Amino acid sequence: DVATFADRPVDALSGGQRQRCWIAMVLAQETDLLLLDEPTTFLDLKVQVDLLELLVSLAHTQGRTLLVVLHDLNLAAAYADRLVMMKAGRILHDGPPETVFTADNLKQVFDLDAQVIREPLAGRPVCVPVKRTVAETASFTSSAATT
């Protein structure tokens, strides 16, 4: 849905509109392998979901291989066939979301305290961060200021 931007100068487009145009240009090349680094940046949630559903469809119906870097953990777990968790340039976990996306792995890789639950329709894992107490937040803020 980027044809409506055709008559507008690039500098008149919003960040999300530009991102959609870049993705459209990549898709128009019809390569068998797509490497996408944060393709959902600047996009509203609905557009993020539409894009990821399009990418999954391309992978599954046209046999395209996609390597997508996402920092939105829940989107990654919801749409990936395979997750790779890296830390300091090393692969620590690799496999289907159901086995890789765990509270222990999120803590190890991202130092994130979270619960992982299953969304009710497809059963995909979802990360729910554990809220820190006021004391933990104050400790975190003061230690972050000294680093």
Summarize pLDDT for 59-78 with one digit per residue, the tens. 999 888 999 999 999 999 99
Q: What is the pTM of this model?
A: 0.76
In the chain, where the domains are located: 3-146
Fold exhibited by the domain 3-146: Rossmann fold (3.40.50)
CA 142/CA 49 separation, integer angstroms:
37
Residue 18: which H helix or E strand, with range? Answer: helix 15-28
Report the pLDDT value the prediction gives residue 22, as an integer from 0 to 100. 85
